[in-house]
Amino acid sequence: MAKKKTRKVRTQLKKGHQGRRRRGDFTREYHEHGFTDKSPMRRERVSGKGDLTRHRTIIGEASADEHDALNVQLDINEKDCLHGRVLSVHGLDCKVLAGDGKTYQCAIRGLLKNLNTDQRNVIAAGDVVSIRPERNTDAGERYEAMIVRIEPRYGCISRTSKGQQHVLVANVDQLIIVASIAEPELKPNLIDRFLVTAEKVGCEPIICFNKIDLLNPNEIQPIAGTYGQLGYRTLYTSTETGIGIDSLKSLIADKQNVVVGQSGVGKSSLLNAVEPTLELRTKSVSKDNQKGRHTTTAAHLIQLDCGGYIVDTPGIRQFQLWDVIAEEVAGFYRDLRPYVDDCKFHDCTHIHENPCGVKRAVADGLLDLRRYESYCQIRTEL
């Protein structure tokens, strides 16, 4: 890995970060008044250089990958700053737990907000940031600061939102996928999408089948068993009976975790069972359509008494993969990977070609048919 160095970096700002300086219709102005004063060419710069440019030279640590402006680490005065972790994000306001033990209400540095990036929001829950406390901080319990730099990320759980990267949470080690076996019904394809994301970013996935008290566990054993045979850690839980709560608590202790799943599967209820002092808001599933109601509205980082932290995220009904191309989907399916080399064509999609090693494995019963259909659905969408 190339060593980073501080230097001047030419980066791009967002479109519209500054007002357009050139006035409007010169033709109409000429016909009405004529140009009797100074020539417009002497007072207007109309080229792409100067004030109209969206590029700016900044000083920071440049990595090898500079296509996203956030990969450039801005140069700051370390003596005036504290390191902290973002607890939650509400628009442009963030709560940050700093190294001094205080929680700061933070605004975001203007340059960070204007850097050109594919991300929907420049800050995400779980981010490690550098903040500069404000001098006019109130003497009471409210502390204010400015986020001046985002430290390098890893383990980002993201989805596609209107063509942009929506980072749900950053810097996590474990992805806790919560799926209810009933109320609302189980969605295996959604589980598969989270597993593809976990494989992509290098997180350890844990599949938690919740509300096990509502159904006989034997009825979902074919699905749960398939994931178990692939090496994924699976867990049965119930907040009503307490089944699996202790096991879940031991798995997340001293780790950096995020809980994901569709609305109504019981993510907040599970966290309340693990940490009874949290008292997170919960709602019952709608009786009309058996869909969950949105209770958690924003990702929120929670420190655990057993060590580490966990991020509770809003319910997700659709999860579009980010930064995954169609050709690499098969590589993220553990059960498909061994049969890819048996295909005749090196660019085989494993959908319509013959002969195909993956399709042959499905026909021979070596691959689960539901998992193969899930792959085909994701591959076709991409």
Residue 29 above 80 pLDDT? no
Are the CB atoms for 208 and 310 separated by under 8 Å? Answer: no
Residue scoring higher pLDDT (70 or 158)? 158
Higher pLDDT, 92 or 93: 93
Cα angle: 116, vertex 120, 121; to 5 degrees: 90
Say if CB 250 and CB 206 are below 8 A apart.
no
Amino acid at 271: L
The answer to whether domain 1-37+73-152 has CATH 3.90.226.30 is: no
**Polymer length of the chain:** 382
Distances in Å between the Cα of 151 and the Cα atoms of 70, 126, 171, 257 are: 9, 11, 10, 19
**Kind of pairing between the strands at 143-150 and 128-133:** antiparallel
Percent over 90 (pLDDT), the chain? 59
Which residues neighbour 349 within 8 Å (Cβ) at sequence distance 6 or greater? 326, 379
pLDDT one-digit tens code per residue, 270-322: 999 999 888 888 766 555 444 545 567 789 999 999 899 999 998 887 899 99
Sheet with strand 73-74: strands edge to edge: 5-12, 55-62, 73-74
The CATH number that domain 326-381 falls under is 1.10.40.50
Please give the model's pTM, rounded to 2 decimal places. 0.82
| Contact by Cβ (8 Å): 208, 177 | yes
Q: Where are the domains of the chain?
A: 1-37+73-152, 157-312, 326-381
Q: What pLDDT, on the 0 to 100 scale, is given for residue 74?
A: 76
The answer to whether residues 194 and 260 touch, using CB atoms and an 8 Å cutoff, is: yes
Residue with tokens 């995400």: 124
Q: Single out the residue of 58, 368, 350, 355 nearest to residue 188, CA to CA.
A: 368
Query: Do the first three CATH levels of 157-312 and 326-381 match, i.e. the same topology?
Result: no
The structure tokens 């829950």 sit at 125
Per-residue pLDDT tens over the stretch 161-207? 888 999 999 999 999 999 999 989 999 999 999 999 999 999 999 99
Taking alpha carbons only, the member of 330, 215, 222, 317 closest to residue 260 is: 317
Residue 210 has pLDDT above 60, yes or no: yes
Q: pLDDT digit string (tens) for 346-358?
A: 999 999 999 999 9
Say what the pLDDT of residue 51 is. 45
By the 8 A CB rule, do 115 and 57 touch? Answer: no
For residue 342, give both structure tokens: 């048996």
Residue 293 contacts by C-beta under 8 Å, 6 or more apart in sequence?
263, 264, 283, 284, 285, 286
CA distances from 340 to 356, 359, 370 (A): 8, 10, 18
> Residue 276: which residues within 8 A CB-CB, separation 6 or more?
none
The CATH number given to 157-312 is: 3.40.50.300
